[in-house]
Every structure is written in structure tokens, then in C-alpha cells.
Chain A
Amino acid sequence: MPYFPDEVVEHILGFVSSHRDRDAASLVCHVWYRIEGLTRRSVFISNCYAVRPERVHARFPCLRSLTVKGKPRFADFNLVPAGWGASAEPWVDACARACPGLEELRLKRMVVTDGCLNHLAHSFPNLRSLVLVSCEGFSTDGLATIATNCRFLKELDLQGSQVEFRGRHWLSCFPKPSTSLESLNFACLDGAVSANALESLVARSPNLKSLRLNRAVPTAVLAKILTSAPKLVDLGTGLVAQSNNAGALPSLYSAIQQCTSLNSLSGFWDSPRWITPIIHYICKNLTCLNLSYAPMFRTVDLIGTIHQCQNLQHLWVLDHIGDAGLKVVASSCLELQELRIFPANANVLASTGVTEEGLVAVSSGCRKLNSMLYSCSRMTNSALITVAKNCSRITSFRLHICLHGSVDAVTGQPLDEGFGAIVRSCKGLRRLSMSGLLTDSVFLYIGMYAERLETLSVAFAGDSDDGMIYVLNGCKNLRKLEIRNCPFGNTALLAGTHRYEAMRSLWMSSCDITLGGCRSLAAAMPGLNVEVISQADGGANDAKKVEKLYVYRTLAGPRDDAPGFVSAL
């Protein structure tokens, strides 16, 4: 067809929403690139330093929703020093100038200051949704400005962020007489909330569907909230316990029975064990249950509850559940799609928790499983092979054995065969995180079989550079590679020189790479930012071992806000 009208292309592209599909469409020809750029509403920036905000706005002038991710994932585990960067300020500034009609802003692992929130609040009157996942640097004052100025705010989600507590007044700043709030999540907030403010907020938010409270919200307040918002779909409770108010618990019981649409439950914090029966009132409808913040619940309580949740699709729980509990999960929750088991005890030598038996039980019972995060005390190859056979639809598999370098608990072999079986049979595996004693063989398997793998996290594994080389040569779709405490050296690092531009980022910490190797990589690939994070003083000679290395592709050149301990090569 010689002439294809732009309007038709525009119309067709309007139906294409996924980022990857749109990226692919934009590569067809210049016309499509331009049209796609003009019509894209939702932009996802996976690395805030990969591109300058101005350039994003130049290409996508009509964007309405912006998602930006900042620090590397290992920042969650204290591997990235404070002050590393990822400030949201440049993004908010650029957006305020170019796109004041912004409706959604989602930031992950970025530093957001109160000033930034203030700027946000005053620049985007149309803001509907603000999601700050694992962010830090702001306080309740910033939340107050957002609440006051963003009159149409529908969603305020502070999942996992660190918020400095400066007062309880922010909840009363939301618009009166009514708000358009549909989702409010302040579960991570430390500090008290004003009961009156919260109750009146819920009373004047008729569209509220999702509400996640923090620990400080007492039982009586929760009961009142549920009475005024019985249409809630997602609830995160506060601390539910016996209090001075004798009528609180009974009113909570009766209120929760009225919540017939409730299908997602989380919270509980340090609630005592005897509170678990309250969940039974809504068990039948529950699809998401997150008890991973409730360390007091024991196996027997969890079993009694989960046994009744036949429709459960997402389950996040601490390893108190034990193998016995997981067997109950396997027999009752046949619709389960996502399972996450978190370690309850920081003491890595505690041998309580879950083992390979629980994993095998769940995999044989819950055939629809596609995402697993399993923290256990021991594992065997045969268990992993069984899991691979049973659940071949797994797309995300993360196994953390608490004592690193653990071998197969029965045969004493490394866990290569088990993980090899997983990558061989789960053809759609996109995310893999491994632990235990692993040699180069497992990397060979990954390189050979894991074609769709996009994120790989490795710790305390491998014997030699070959391991990393297998992965870099084999996995064509690899985007993020995170390595810590592995014996990979400069040869391995430089073997992937041609690969890093196709990947989002590479993180290597406590490996065997030296400054010389990093410098060679930086010299060979100007399109990459090769950043070395080192806090120890020492010479800058080429033989110096590099503590932490972060390599990512970028169009923006070296960072201009790098702190002293980050050196760009």
C-alpha cells in the first residue's frame, strides 16, 4: 500500500497499550516513530539515569502517565550507600515545565523530598495517581501538601517507602466535602494517625476501594472505618488486638462480616495469634492474602485460616507456615498463582521454617503457580526437579536458602541440577534468583535453556569466569544481571562488552573485578555508564579491586549528580 493515512495509524496505535509493543511499532519507520511518540500516553523509564527527562518529554509530548525507577534493586538490601542519587527532582521539574497535565506519577526507589512533593502538588492540578514504591526522603508534611493541592487525587500509594513522621495532620488535608480517593496506602508509615481525621476521610470518600492502614490504627477505628466503607475491596489492617475499648473487637467482627466485596487482606503487624479467626469471615472471597508482616501467627493459626480460602490466588506469608501449612495450601488453594514465603527470623542458623517438602507439596497441588519467592532453610535437587516438572508455567522463580552456600540437604551435591531442571522445563521463565552452592554448570544450563530470562540474581555462586560468560552469551533476552559475592573477574566482565547495551543494567559487588577491567569496559563502550562505588580510600591504580560496580546503558552521558563515592569511568 503506497499511502497509509497517519490518522489510521494513529487510530490503530491507540489500541496498542503495552510498552514493548509500542516500542516495536515505533521502530517500523520514521512516520510510525513520530505518530507513536505523539500518541503515547504512558511512559515507562526503567532507569532514571538512562535518559534525560527533557528528552522524554520531547519525544512524548502528550504523555499522561510517567513511571520512573531509580536505584538498583540491591539498594533494598543495604548494598547501595545512602546518598547515591536517584533524585526525583529533575523529573518533576521537567514534567512540570513540559507536561502540566500529568495524571499519574509512579516512582520506585527514588529520593523524593518534601520540596519535590510541594512542586508536584502545585504543578499538576490534574494529578490522579501518585505511587511511591520504596522511596525515601519525604515526610508527612509533603503528604499534607499533596493532599491539600491535588483535589482530584484518586490514588496515593506509599508502598514500602520511608516517611519521616512530622505530625498527624496530613490526613485531614484531603479535600472537603468529599474526595475522589479510590486507593490509599500508608501502611509503611511510622507514627500515629489521628483517628478522627481518618474516620472522617473514609466517610467522605465514597469511591474508596483500597485502604491500607499502618500499624498505629487501633481496632476501634478500624471497626468504624469498615462500617462506613463496606464496599472496600482491599484492606490492610492496623494492629488488631485487645484494647481498653471493650466493644472494639465485637464491633470489628460485625463490621467485617458486612464487607462482602473484600477480596484482599493484609496488615496485622504484631497482632496476637487469637485474632486469626477474624479472617474466617471473609475467607470465601479472598484472592489476595498478605500475612507477611504478622510474625505472631503460627502454623496452626495459618492452617486453620488458609484451609478455608479456596479462591486464593496470591499468598504472601512468613515461613512460620511450615511444611505442614504448605501442604494445606496445596490441598486447598488450587487457584494459587503467586506464593511468597519470607523469612521470619533474622538468625540465619534457625532451622525452623520451610524446607523442600513444602515446595514440592505446593507445586504438586497448585498447578497454576507462576510466581514463587521461597525462603527456606534447606533444599534438594530432586525437589527442584519435581517442581520443574509440576509447574512448567512459572515465570518468576526466586529461591533463597537462608544459609548461603548450602548444598543439597540429602546428597550433598551442589544445586546445579535442580536449577538446571527449572530453566529447562519452565520455558517462560523471566525472572530467576538463585542461592545455595552453585558451580559453573548451573550457568551453563541457564545460558543454554533460559531463553526468555530477563532478570537474573546471583549470590555466592559460580567457580570461575566461565559462569558469567555462559550467561552473557546464552541469554539473549537478559535485561538485568545482579551479581554479588561471586568469583567473576575482568575476563567475565569484558566478555559481555557487546551485550551490555542491550541490557538495562549490570550490578556486580564483591566479585573479582579490578579497576583496570572496568576502565577497559568504559573505554570500549561509550554508550554505557560504568560506575564504581567505593567507600574505602585507596589508590586508583588498575589493580585495585572494585567493591561495587554498576553498569547501565544511557543516552544521557555520565551523571552530573554523582556523590563522592561514585566514580564514573
Chain B
Amino acid sequence: AAAILPRYICGGSRATQAKQRPHLNLNHTLRYPSLTHFSFSSDLFCRRRTRGEFARPSMEIIDAELRLGPPGSGGDAAFGSQKKRSSSTVAAAATSEASGTDDHDAAPASKVQVVGWPPVGAYRKSTFQSASASAAKESKGAGEAGQRGGLYVKVSMDGAPYLRKVDLRTYGGYGELRAALDALFGCFSSCSGPSPDNGQFAMAYEDKDGDLMLAGDVPWDMFISSCKRLRIMRSSEAR
């Protein structure tokens, strides 16, 4: 299937590399849409015939809005409606609706995060986290969180004799959670730097699929809903 994808998506020789990747290399993910998510025929993509012509991609969304017409037909109409959709769904849908402004990078939201992009200095990371925490707070509304009751998860730390339990709903963001864990275990206070990547310990969690993930990548809301258990592990293991 990779062989029939037009060159400008696969970049020539890298198409074969995409197939042979043994693990998910996040740096490449966005250029090559995940092939397992949909079946397609080459007609759905606008091919770029010569270097001078630029594609007007007609395939953007993975759901029922796919147009099966020949490449280039009705592209503008599709675009107009997509633009309206993307502006109305504000930050909510983690799928391709929000990527209506983007073309072939129809990867799911969790794979969109790439190392070092957007290019923001590491010293701004703490601003990021409090911003997404505050956005989550505002969008959820004041009373809603309190009504749903506590969300207690176990917290284990490598080398500690016993585990603790914390209520994730009492924290507004990663920063507060980190401070609370620090108060319980004393793990982060000796570290340098605000981001959880530095220092001796890293904060990881198990999500509902049972995978061990590094905390801090997804917005706080998403984290609370998917986190089943927290684990504070040594940075040497986390690398």
C-alpha cells in the first residue's frame, strides 16, 4: 500500500522506511499518516503531478465526510465546510476535525506531539502546564468538578516502603500534583528545574490500557480521566 501513496506524502525513499519502522518514531509520525487507521484508494489523494503544481488535498478527515470523487473536484466546497467546523469545535475533539486546516497529517491527537514542537524554550514549560490547567478549569466550570466526587489513585514510588493514595480532583494541574507528591514523598524538591524531566525522579502513570506513560504530555482533563495509578520512578529508568 505504501508504494502507491503519492511522493509528496511519503517523500520518496522514506516510504519504505515508514513500513520498516520497528517502533513508533515520533519525529516521523506526522509526515506519514498512520496507515492502519483507514483503507483508501489512491484516488482520494490529490497527486502532485509536477513539482510546480501544488496539491489541494481533498482527504482530510477519517470519518464519514470522505469524498470519493476524482482528485481536485469539489475541493473548495469541502474546505469551506471544514474551516467552519474547525472554528466551531474549540480544542475539544481530539481527532481530525480540528486538523481541518492541516492536510495529510491526519494522525490522531495523541501522536501529534513531537519532540521539540512547537518550538518553545524549556523554561516556558511551566507556563504551558498552568495554562492548560487554567483552561481546563474554566471550560469545565466551577461546580462541575466538585460534584463528581473524589478520584483516588494509588501512588507508588520506587524505593518507598508503602504506597499512598491521592485524589486527583483536588488538583488543578500538573504543578499542583507535583507539589503534593513532593510533600508526600519528598521526591522532587531536590531536583533542579521546574519540568518533571529533570532531577532524580519522574512522574509516570498507568492509563486505562495498562500502559506506563510519562505524565505531562496530555492536558490535565485527559490525564485525570485516563490515569488509573501513579508511579514515581527514577529518571534513569524513565529515559
Contacts and interface: CB of A to CB of B under 8 A. Distances in A.
B44 to A, nearest CB: 15
B124 A342 contact: yes
A348 interface: yes
B193 A190 contact: yes
Interface in A424-469: 433, 437, 439-441, 457, 459-460, 463-464
A347 B101 contact: no
Given A347-B132, A439-B51, A460-B31, A292 B116 contact: no
Nearest to B133: A295
B91 interface: yes
Nearest to B58: A412
B57 A405 contact: no
A349 B198 CA distance: 26
A272 B139 CA distance: 16
A404 B114 contact: yes
Contacts of A295: 127, 130-131, 134
- Which secondary structure dominates chain A's binding surface? loop
A349 B56 contact: no
Interface residues of A, number: 66
B101 A409 contact: yes
A484 B218 CA distance: 24
Contacts of B79: 410-412
Nearest to A77: B116
A350 B83 CA distance: 14
Contacts of A485: 27-28, 31, 114
Interface string B198-221: 100000000000000000001100
Given A76-B122, A293-B127, A350 B91 contact: yes
The residue in B119, B121, B193 that gathers the most chain A C-beta atoms within 10 A of its C-beta is: B119
B175 to A, nearest CB: 9
Nearest to A347: B219
Contact of B112 (A134, A293, A343, A403): A403
Interface in A51-104: 74, 76-79
A437 B103 contact: yes
Interface stretch (B10-18, B62-70, B162-170): B10-18
Interface string B115-139: 1111111111101111110110000
A76 B121 contact: yes
B31 A403 contact: no
Contacts of B91: 345, 347, 349-352
The residue in B89, B90, B114 that gathers the most chain A C-beta atoms within 10 A of its C-beta is: B114
B131 A459 contact: no
Closest 9 CB pairs of A and B: A77-B116, A295-B131, A164-B192, A350-B91, A344-B131, A346-B128, A487-B11, A510-B27, A349-B98
Interface of B: 7-8, 11-14, 27-28, 30-31, 51-52, 54-57, 75, 79, 83, 86-87, 89-91, 94, 98-99, 101-105, 109, 112-125, 127-132, 134-135, 191-194, 197-198, 218-219
11 contacts: A162-B193, A295-B127, A295-B130, A344-B128, A344-B131, A407-B57, A412-B79, A433-B119, A437-B103, A463-B8, A485-B28
Given A351-B89, A412-B55, 15 more contacts: A78-B115, A78-B197, A190-B193, A347-B218, A349-B91, A349-B112, A377-B101, A400-B119, A406-B102, A407-B57, A407-B101, A409-B83, A459-B117, A512-B13, A512-B14
